[in-house]
Amino acid sequence: MTTAVAWMAPICALVGILVAVNLGRSVLKADPGSEKMNSISIKIQQGAQAFLMSEYKLLIIFMAVVAIIMAIVPVLGPLMALAFVTGGVLSAAAGYVGMYVATRANTRTAHAAEESVAKALNISFKSGLTMGLCVASFALMGLSLWLLLLVFGIDLSLPELIHERIDIVEGFATGASAVALFARVGGGIYTKAADVGADLVGKVEAGIPEDDPRNPATIADNVGDNVGDVAGMGADLFESYTGSILAPTILAATFGALGYFNGQIDFVWALVTPVIIAACGIITSIIGLFAVRTKEGGELHKALNRGTYLAAGIEIVIIFVIFYIWNTQTFDCQPLFLFGSVICGLVAGLAIGKITEYFCSDAYKPVHKIAESAETGAATVIIEGIGTGMLSTIAPIILVSLAIIGAFTFGNMAFPNANVEFGGIAAGLFGVGLAATGMLSNTAITIGVDAYGPVADNAGGIAEMAGLPEEVRDRTDALDAVGNTTAAIAKGFAISSAGLAAISLFVSFQATMHAQIPGFELTLTDPLIVAGIFIGAMMPFMFAALTMGAVSRAAHAMVEEVRRQFREIPGIMEYENEPEYDKCVAISTNSALREMMLPGILAVVVPIIIGCLNPAMLGGFLAGAVATGMLMAIFMSNAGGAWDNAKKYIEKGAHGGKGSDAHKAAVVGDTVGDPFKDTSGPSMNILINLMTIISLTFSPLFIMIQTML
């Protein structure tokens, strides 16, 4: 095989984009429903558009500053700056398209739900998959083109050159990660400020239902679903996906350049395999689309799972075939064992998904126990929920650890003679990286399954505000509820793949440093490295504190504004006057933009500063950050999910049902859980990846400083 085969990647990406355009068009062609519904949808569109535009303006400034620094520092250079910018721009573009379609699919889904749940599913899922395909295709297009231009074509016997070139491509991933962090944090603050504000005053104080048009924060709340759960989530997966493809590629390049693979054939395959796996994943996701259909009364989650499982099944076969062919081309090694690495990752991801479901679904004991504890008040709900979230970290962490060890072992078996240095970690860790690639290869359809949820949620909001019959709302609620469970599996994959990718990248960082700084070792007895572990482990705590504080401040401002409108604008309650929706939208927008800057900038700046001071300390820092970052991600997401479903479980009638004291206590849990599961928790994966990839990208600078000292 030659590296030219890698042209498959941009071609598949192009196919993905064409299908996405087609899907998006068919969504937009659907009937948007009545004038009233459409006018509500337009308000949401405008709010989301305005927020994204303001966010992107800030991001342009940030990206420009970083890009200029990259361009000026001689060991980084303008090409890296360009890669950085393309990574950021493509991520933003995917988020924008996803948000554009989603904010138009909402009213169309609501209208379709007037007819049947099957039609509503069709539109909302198409909208989700449009973004899914855009995310995967844009990411793969950008990444593979950079690799084809700079890495795949060059003389692979020149280690220095490979190092230099792959480092430039890392800029792409850094750009994507930086945008993702801001988009997740900004979107997360936006949506939770609006949500908490709308709930606390509207639902609790004024006693009006969710999405009631009399609630001034209701438009902001619906905009929030789009900027947080659609655009933010898209950017998030854009960066995980990029990271998971790049992790084994960087490892292959780094170690291949040092002659760690057995021969030229293996080196070329190792370089190209990750993008090919990803390319096939786009095609299988498109195939999966056709399996997602249901009849009225059919089981929705089965339809969605059918699509996911079909795509995953085909993808596994393809991955096997790729390794099988590679295996036939080489003599002294057994790349087919790498299939074992991928399976380790997949099994761990699936199991973690199931565990997530166990801890968060109202069908199991943990959520029942939280609901039960609501009978003794809010305090016991909080204690029980925090305990549940922490307990839920045990199995996933053990599974990720086993997946790492398993993928590593298979990797080593694949290249038995590659064990030259580092105790043979090169081949083993390539296996770990490939496991991450395999897990995220079907990102397009995974996003589809995830991102139709907020569309259905929005459709429900529009149905409520436009006063559609109750059955419409019931249908959109059914859609929304299924989305919550199916998304659990996706979460499992996201968390474990982030762990695997981070470790591969982390080891690449170590290898790069080791190759260029004499005597560079990351041993746990070096006090600088121990101090690095401590400080790194602290970062996720700091990040969680800052983002939760941000939600708290923003929600506070929202509460004050909603209260003010109820007080000062007469006739809101009697539907005589429309509340000033735009003021609430402005509060969410401004709070989110103001508050996202500090945590985002810290995540970028702290690793660079530590790396400039001492690269070994940075190594410890990354190890600590990855460990606690994963823990906090699982803890916060699952505690939040469990609280949410405990509240819903009580609303279904348990422990006194809606309006009971237990329900009030459960609402406190849910409100605390909001920033846990939608702001701080989901940002953790990005934080880990961003800090790791930025360390890799800036490693030439660190090396330069060390050699100057």
Which residues from 401-420 bind a copy of itself, rule CB under 8 A? 401-402, 404-405, 408
CB of 542 to a copy of itself, least distance (A): 5
Distance CA 16, CA 601 (A): 33
Options 8-16, 80-88, 535-543, 681-689: segment touching a copy of itself (CB under 8 A): 535-543
Options 18-26, 220-228, 427-435, 570-578: segment touching a copy of itself (CB under 8 A): 427-435
Contacts (CB under 8 A) with a copy of itself, residues 353-392: 373, 376-380, 382-384, 386-391
Contacts (CB under 8 A) with a copy of itself, residues 222-251: none
Distance CA 228, CA 96 (A): 12
**Token pair 């498959």: residue:** 8
- Calculate the CA 170 to chain-centre distance: 19
Distance CA 665, CA 486 (A): 27
Tokens representing residue 588 in the block: 């969410």
* Angle between helix 443-465 and 264-289 (nearest 10): 30
CB of 441 to a copy of itself, least distance (A): 22
For a copy of itself, what does the binding mask look like between residues 286 and 325, x meaning CB under 8 A? ----------------------------------------
Helix/strand/coil (H/E/C) assignment for every residue in 629-679: HHHHHHHHHHHHHHHHHHHHHHHCCHHHCCCCHHHHHHHHHHHHHHHHHHH
Options 135-143, 249-257, 275-283, 502-510: segment touching a copy of itself (CB under 8 A): 502-510
Identity of the amino acid at 121: L
CB of 74 to a copy of itself, least distance (A): 29
CB of 379 to a copy of itself, least distance (A): 4
Q: Compute CA distances 588 → 119, 189, 553, 569, whole Å.
A: 33, 8, 11, 20
Choosing from 425, 444, 592, 662, the residue that interacts with a copy of itself (CB under 8 A) is 425
Nearer to a copy of itself, 110 or 684 (CB): 684
CB of 191 to a copy of itself, least distance (A): 15
Instruction: Assess contact for 148 and 271: CB atoms under 8 A.
Output: no
CB of 503 to a copy of itself, least distance (A): 6
* Angle between helix 527-568 and 159-197 (nearest 10): 30
Options 34-42, 141-149, 480-488, 616-624: segment touching a copy of itself (CB under 8 A): 616-624
Tokens representing residue 44 in the block: 């949401």
**Token pair 């499992």: residue:** 492
Instruction: Assess contact for 681 and 491: CB atoms under 8 A.
Output: no
Asked if residue 601 binds a copy of itself (CB under 8 A), the reply is no
Choosing from 74, 207, 297, 423, the residue that interacts with a copy of itself (CB under 8 A) is 423
CB of 111 to a copy of itself, least distance (A): 35
Distance CA 285, CA 375 (A): 45
Instruction: Assess contact for 399 and 496: CB atoms under 8 A.
Output: yes
For a copy of itself, what does the binding mask look like between residues 673 and 702, x meaning CB under 8 A? --x---------------------------
Asked if residue 534 binds a copy of itself (CB under 8 A), the reply is yes
CB of 432 to a copy of itself, least distance (A): 7
Choosing from 537, 554, 687, 693, the residue that interacts with a copy of itself (CB under 8 A) is 537
By CB under 8 A, how many residues form the interface with a copy of itself? 83
CB of 518 to a copy of itself, least distance (A): 13
Nearer to a copy of itself, 58 or 208 (CB): 208
Nearer to a copy of itself, 206 or 531 (CB): 531
Consecutive H or E run containing 383? helix 378-391
* DSSP notation for 223-278: HHIIIIIIIIHHHHHHHHHHHHHHHHHHHHHHHHHTT-SSSHHHHHHHHHHHHHHH
DSSP state of 208: P
Nearer to a copy of itself, 146 or 676 (CB): 676
CB of 550 to a copy of itself, least distance (A): 9
Longest pairwise C-alpha distance within the chain: 82
Consecutive H or E run containing 497? helix 470-516
CB of 198 to a copy of itself, least distance (A): 13
Contacts (CB under 8 A) with a copy of itself, residues 553-582: 555-556, 559
Choosing from 143, 168, 429, 505, the residue that interacts with a copy of itself (CB under 8 A) is 429
CB of 456 to a copy of itself, least distance (A): 26
Nearer to a copy of itself, 442 or 671 (CB): 671
Choosing from 80, 83, 352, 551, the residue that interacts with a copy of itself (CB under 8 A) is 551
Contacts (CB under 8 A) with a copy of itself, residues 12-51: none
Instruction: Assess contact for 662 and 649: CB atoms under 8 A.
Output: no
Other Cβ atoms within 10 Å of 205 Cβ, number: 13
Contacts (CB under 8 A) with a copy of itself, residues 432-451: 432
Options 84-92, 480-488, 669-677, 700-708: segment touching a copy of itself (CB under 8 A): 669-677
Contacts (CB under 8 A) with a copy of itself, residues 177-206: 196, 200, 204
Contacts (CB under 8 A) with a copy of itself, residues 118-147: none
Identity of the amino acid at 640: G
**Token pair 């990102």: residue:** 443
Asked if residue 523 binds a copy of itself (CB under 8 A), the reply is yes
DSSP state of 422: G
Distance CA 697, CA 618 (A): 13
Asked if residue 328 binds a copy of itself (CB under 8 A), the reply is no
CB of 707 to a copy of itself, least distance (A): 19
Region label for 653, one of left (φ > 0), alpha (ψ between -120 and 50) or beta (otherwise): left
CB of 513 to a copy of itself, least distance (A): 11
Q: Give Cβ neighbours of residue 526 (< 8 Å, ≥ 6 apart).
A: 616, 620
Asked if residue 507 binds a copy of itself (CB under 8 A), the reply is yes
Identity of the amino acid at 619: G
Query: If DSSP codes are grouped into helix, strand and coil, which group holds residue 521?
Result: coil
Options 128-136, 250-258, 357-365, 501-509: segment touching a copy of itself (CB under 8 A): 501-509
Tokens representing residue 534 in the block: 């401590």
Angle CA 178–184–188, to nearest 5: 150
* DSSP notation for 133-169: HHHHHHHHHHHHHHHIIIIITS-TT-HHHHHHHHHHH
CB of 402 to a copy of itself, least distance (A): 8
Contacts (CB under 8 A) with a copy of itself, residues 618-647: 619-620, 623-624, 627-628, 630-631, 635
CB of 89 to a copy of itself, least distance (A): 33
Q: Compute CA distances 533 → 63, 158, 522, 542, 545, whole Å.
A: 28, 35, 11, 14, 19
Choosing from 1, 287, 531, 586, the residue that interacts with a copy of itself (CB under 8 A) is 531
CB of 660 to a copy of itself, least distance (A): 16
